[in-house]
């Protein structure tokens, strides 16, 4: 384990404007600023004389401009290539934004580069690397981070998806600190007494220039946090090995220590969304509450795949999405998959009293470069990411193109949250087949067995291209990642008919309440991700959209009297609320069920670590040819005279037959490429 004592957290001294000898492959250049196009920026200015000095007045306190550059939720998107669809894509990758990073650094030699977690999982390249045996090369993401000269990173929840051994081997090649304060291998009496998986913080010692060109030694404290739910989401990998602390409780314990160690500036890498200002125990989205802590100077947020500053985040207590402030502190959330670069410019003034050497007197947060940028003496050098990971790219392509079997029908998810879907049927069939064989001969073998499936690539924050669209014919390894992008494992639960109805009520939280007679109301709640929308082939039921959702997007009971699931039956008979059934799901969904009230908490009957992608691949290989038109097992309860609108993606026109019963009518295409349709309920 990476349990390292606090005494070893300090990073070596390094001049920000010169390449580091200790980090091979750094591509920094000392680029001279010619002129300042934006007088409001924190860039150095050239002064010919100081009138205060000539007049005998005390010289003004030195001032430093410090730039923080950040990425988050890259999900192994290093190159502009969609391995699922086997084609180049532009606009979202670390390679695409590496030039912005280089320019941002060249504009401001006093700069630091951070990543905010969820960098190791998310596409077939990541799946290939995790599956490769006896691998000797560094992980391509780590190779890219080393090449770009990242100063520090933190861990996200998806870093743990492939298991601890894989994560430890991967991090061993990092030439930068990896920090997280609330992930422990052994809990102490307080957070500061924990044995942490990686160091809770690092102090980066840098030599920086002030506005007059004088050098100063600056100590930048960097601390990381991750969602405490990791311990539940990846329980099959982490149980007994990893223990999570509450983010705010950990921060309150560690931040004073970081300041006491001499940190002049404290930067929080929070793999956490922008949530409420007031702390809540165990909160997943704690970036705002973190920013409110007095020791914090700047926050890098993430996890939610949103862009901040910007309109994606609403104004609320402690949140200013226009100026990019959380609790008055500058903050960024730089999207996902290389969609954005976050930039925070801090203005530091030398303190004349008190225990701190430097004070942050101003800060500015934004996404990307300024519209008017600084004129550079020479174009910045952009590190050659393509060449650096070319071998891994070619190997991943060869792996992803292997044929697993054949599909009788196309498998697409453009309307998987609107009507029964052939892709969901296939995934559920593979899960059920595995569990049935594994439970043969046990006391569970005679119970009815069902399997849940959800569309992972169905638009949302992933964009208009974030849909599965596999034509009939060869099914390849890349298609398995397309169908099942997360490296989940199978879990089989024993539950009652009443529990099953509640499970489906949770799934139905994806839909907004639609009143009879409404026209073109939005069907889907954009705050609810599609991977929570479980369908269970083999059952028959209707969803009553006129009812309010029983549960909110976080799974909290909000309308106890609401019942959206109508006519729940199996094999032509109504399901008895007290009867026992088996449901095959994944570890992530099962972990959430484990937190249900005791009377509705399912019993785990099978959790042998079988990976969902592997189960799906083996099922297709055995069957040879798979797929069939979708089984009509669920539908919306009819609402005559009522229409709704949905947003779907590129290529949806070819799959309108999937929703023919809803009489789709095209409405428009928006600026993001989403196609909007009217549906008749």
- For the chain, percent of residues with pLDDT exceeding 90: 80
* 48 CB neighbour count, 10 Å cutoff: 4
Burial state string for 621-655 with b = 16 or more CB within 10 A and e = fewer than 16: eeeeebbeebbebbebeebeebbbbbbbbbebeeb
Nearest residue to 603 (alpha-carbon basis) of 474, 499, 468, 479 = 499
The arithmetic mean of pLDDT across residues 163-172, rounded, is: 95
Distance (Å, rounded) from C-alpha 279 to C-alpha 290? 8
Q: Residue ranges of the domains in the chain?
A: 10-38+63-394, 402-680
Looking at residue 17, its pLDDT comes to 42
pLDDT above 70: residue 438: yes
Sequence-separated (6 or more) residues with CB below 8 Å from residue 678: 520, 643, 644, 645, 664, 665, 666, 667
Distance (Å, rounded) from C-alpha 405 to C-alpha 363? 56
The arithmetic mean of pLDDT across residues 280-301, rounded, is: 97
Q: Does residue 294 sit in helix, strand or coil?
A: coil
Helix (H) or strand (E) holding 369: none
Looking at residue 667, its pLDDT comes to 96
pLDDT above 80: residue 25: no
The arithmetic mean of pLDDT across residues 165-182, rounded, is: 97
DSSP character at residue 641: T
Residue reference for tokens 């019963």? 661
Distance (Å, rounded) from C-alpha 187 to C-alpha 394? 43
Q: How confident is the model at residue 355 (pLDDT cuts 50, 70, 90)?
A: confident
Which CATH superfamily includes the segment(s) 10-38+63-394?
Answer: Metallo-dependent phosphatases (3.60.21.10)
Looking at residue 58, its pLDDT comes to 66
Looking at residue 377, its pLDDT comes to 61
Instruction: Evaluate whether 45 touches 209 at the Cβ level (below 8 Å).
Output: no
Looking at residue 674, its pLDDT comes to 95
pLDDT above 90: residue 55: no
Beta strands across the sheet bearing 342-350 = 178-179, 152-154, 111-115, 63-71, 342-350, 358-367
Looking at residue 30, its pLDDT comes to 35
Q: Does residue 385 sit in helix, strand or coil?
A: helix
Category of 25 on φ-ψ map: left (φ > 0), alpha (ψ -120 to 50) or beta:
left
The arithmetic mean of pLDDT across residues 4-15, rounded, is: 40
333 is written with which tokens?
A: 């959330």
Looking at residue 417, its pLDDT comes to 98
Query: Which is higher by pLDDT, 362 or 17?
Result: 362
- For the chain, percent of residues with pLDDT exceeding 70: 89
Looking at residue 24, its pLDDT comes to 34
Looking at residue 9, its pLDDT comes to 37
pLDDT above 60: residue 32: no
Looking at residue 423, its pLDDT comes to 98
β-pairing verdict for 573-574 and 178-179: unpaired
DSSP character at residue 660: G
pLDDT above 80: residue 133: no
454-471 tens-digit pLDDT:
999 999 888 888 999 999
pLDDT above 90: residue 381: no
Looking at residue 261, its pLDDT comes to 96
Q: Does residue 508 sit in helix, strand or coil?
A: helix
Residue reference for tokens 């300024």? 370
Looking at residue 46, its pLDDT comes to 33
pLDDT above 80: residue 313: yes
Instruction: Evaluate whether 269 touches 114 at the Cβ level (below 8 Å).
Output: yes
The arithmetic mean of pLDDT across residues 64-88, rounded, is: 96
pLDDT above 80: residue 26: no
Instruction: Evaluate whether 225 touches 255 at the Cβ level (below 8 Å).
Output: no
Helix (H) or strand (E) holding 645: strand 643-648
Distance (Å, rounded) from C-alpha 69 to C-alpha 148? 12
Q: State whether the Cα torsion 82-88-94-97 is positive or negative.
A: negative
Distance (Å, rounded) from C-alpha 168 to C-alpha 58? 53
Instruction: Evaluate whether 50 touches 62 at the Cβ level (below 8 Å).
Output: no
**577 φ/ψ angles, rounded to the nearest 5 degrees:** -55, -25
Residue reference for tokens 């590129």? 650
Question: 4-8, 169-173, 228-232, 256-260: lowest mean pLDDT where?
Answer: 4-8
Average model confidence (pLDDT) across the chain: 90
Residues forming beta bridges with residue 206, ordered by sequence position: 14, 218
β-pairing verdict for 325-326 and 329-334: antiparallel
Question: 54-68, 96-110, 174-188: lowest mean pLDDT where?
Answer: 54-68
Question: 227-236, 247-256, 585-594: lowest mean pLDDT where?
Answer: 585-594
Q: Give one DSSP letter per residue of 427-443, joined into a string.
A: HHHHHHHHHHHHTTTST
Nearest residue to 329 (alpha-carbon basis) of 254, 250, 270 = 270
Distance (Å, rounded) from C-alpha 504 to C-alpha 359? 53
DSSP character at residue 17: T
Q: How far is CA 136 from the centre of its chain?
A: 27
Q: How confident is the model at residue 92 (pLDDT cuts 50, 70, 90)?
A: confident
Which CATH superfamily includes the segment(s) 402-680?
Answer: 5'-Nucleotidase, C-terminal domain (3.90.780.10)
Looking at residue 1, its pLDDT comes to 39
Looking at residue 91, its pLDDT comes to 78
Question: 44-58, 572-586, 601-615, 632-646: lowest mean pLDDT where?
Answer: 44-58
pLDDT above 90: residue 206: yes
117 is written with which tokens?
A: 């977690």
Question: 7-21, 140-154, 537-551: lowest mean pLDDT where?
Answer: 7-21
Judge whether 10-38+63-394 and 402-680 match in fold: no
CA distances from 29 to 24, 103, 368, 383 (A): 14, 11, 20, 11
């Amino acid at each position: 384990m990476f349990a390292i004592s606090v005494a070893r957290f300090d990073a070596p001294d390094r001049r920000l404007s010169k390449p580091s000898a200790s980090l091979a492959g750094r591509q920094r250049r000392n680029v001279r600023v010619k002129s300042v196009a934006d007088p409001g920026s924190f860039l150095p200015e050239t002064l010919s004389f100081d009138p205060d000095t000539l007049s005998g007045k005390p010289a003004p306190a030195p001032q430093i401009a410090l730039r923080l550059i950040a990425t988050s939720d890259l999900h192994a998107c290093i190159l502009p290539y969609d391995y699922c669809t086997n084609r180049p894509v532009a606009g979202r990758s670390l390679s695409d934004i590496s030039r912005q990073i280089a320019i941002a650094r060249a504009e401001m030699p006093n700069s630091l580069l951070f990543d905010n977690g969820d960098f190791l999982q998310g596409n077939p390249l990541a799946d290939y690397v995790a599956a490769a045996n006896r691998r000797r090369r560094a992980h391509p993401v780590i190779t890219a981070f080393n090449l770009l000269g990242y100063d520090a990173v933190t861990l996200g929840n998806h870093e743990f998806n492939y298991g601890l051994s894989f994560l430890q081997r991967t991090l061993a090649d990092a030439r930068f600190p990896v920090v997280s304060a609330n992930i422990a291998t052994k809990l102490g009496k307080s957070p500061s007494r924990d044995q942490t998986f990686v160091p809770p913080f690092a102090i980066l010692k840098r030599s920086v220039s002030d506005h007059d060109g004088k050098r100063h030694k600056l100590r930048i404290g960097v601390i990381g946090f991750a969602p405490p739910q990791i311990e539940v989401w990846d329980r099959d990998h982490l149980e007994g090995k990893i223990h999570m602390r509450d983010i705010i409780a950990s921060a309150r314990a560690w931040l004073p220590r970081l300041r006491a160690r001499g940190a002049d500036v404290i930067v929080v890498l929070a793999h956490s969304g922008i949530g409420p200002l007031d702390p809540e125990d165990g909160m997943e989205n704690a970036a705002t509450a973190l920013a409110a802590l007095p020791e914090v100077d700047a926050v890098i947020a993430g996890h939610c795949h949103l862009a901040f500053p910007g309109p994606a985040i609403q104004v609320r207590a402690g949140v200013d999405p226009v100026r990019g402030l959380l609790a008055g502190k500058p903050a960024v959330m730089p999207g996902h998959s290389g969609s954005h670069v976050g930039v925070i410019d801090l203005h530091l003034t030398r303190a004349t009293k008190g225990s701190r050497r430097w004070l942050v007197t101003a800060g500015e947060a934004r996404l990307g470069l300024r519209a008017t940028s600084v004129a550079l003496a020479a174009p910045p050098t952009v590190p050659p990411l393509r060449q650096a990971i070319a071998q891994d790219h070619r190997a991943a392509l060869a792996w992803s193109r292997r044929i697993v079997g054949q599909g009788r029908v196309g498998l697409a998810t453009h309307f998987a949250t609107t009507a029964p879907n052939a892709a969901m049927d296939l995934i559920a069939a593979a899960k059920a087949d595995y569990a049935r064989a594994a439970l043969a001969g046990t006391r569970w073998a005679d119970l009815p067995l069902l399997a849940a499936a959800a569309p992972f690539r169905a638009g949302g924050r992933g964009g208009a291209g974030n849909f599965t669209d596999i034509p009939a014919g060869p099914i390849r390894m890349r298609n398995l990642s397309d169908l099942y992008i997360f490296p989940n494992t199978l879990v089989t639960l024993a539950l009652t008919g009443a529990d099953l109805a509640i499970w489906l009520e949770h799934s139905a939280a994806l839909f907004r309440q639609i009143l009879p007679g409404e026209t073109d109301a939005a069907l889907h709640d954009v705050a609810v991700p599609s991977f929570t929308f479980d369908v269970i082939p083999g059952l028959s039921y209707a969803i009553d959209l006129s009812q309010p959702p029983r549960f909110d997007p976080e799974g909290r009971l909000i309308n106890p009297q609401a019942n959206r699931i109508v006519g729940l039956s199996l094999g032509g008979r109504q399901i008895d609320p007290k009867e026992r059934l088996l449901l095959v799901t994944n570890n992530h969904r099962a972990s959430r069920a484990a937190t249900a009230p005791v009377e509705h908490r399912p019993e785990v009957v099978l959790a042998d670590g079988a990976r969902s992608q592997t189960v799906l691949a083996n099922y297709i290989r055995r069957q040879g040819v798979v797929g069939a038109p979708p089984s009509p097992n669920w539908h919306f309860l009819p609402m005559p005279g009522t229409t709704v609108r949905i947003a779907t993606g590129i290529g949806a026109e070819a799959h309108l037959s999937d929703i023919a019963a809803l009489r789709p009518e095209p409405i428009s295409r928006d600026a993001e490429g989403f196609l909007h349709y009217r549906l008749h309920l």
